[in-house]
Amino acid sequence: MSRRKLPFKACVKCKLLVDEDVDVCPNCGSREFTDNWEGVVVVLNPSSEAARILGIQKKGMYALKAR
């Protein structure tokens, strides 16, 4: 049993979650991705307190941890 159900990979730089077939991060332009990520944060309002704490500047779906 896989504990990860979502078919995404995370950008190493900004932690944006993208589809497995994406080559370039649409958020920061990085080509480095990892399958080793945990947690999902959906940011709808980049000016919210939560986004500020996480250092997220654009709305989207992010991993909590990526390495």
In the complex, the residues that contact Zn ion under the rule CB under 5 A are 11, 13-14, 16, 25, 27-28, 30
Angstrom CA distances, 50 to 24, 36, 43, 44, 57, stand at 26, 23, 8, 10, 11
| CB nearer Zn ion, residue 12 or residue 44 | 12
| CB nearer Zn ion, residue 32 or residue 52 | 32
| 25 in Cβ contact with 31 (< 8 Å) | yes
| CB nearer Zn ion, residue 27 or residue 51 | 27
Q: Could you tell me the smallest distance in angstroms from the CB atom of residue 11 to Zn ion?
A: 3
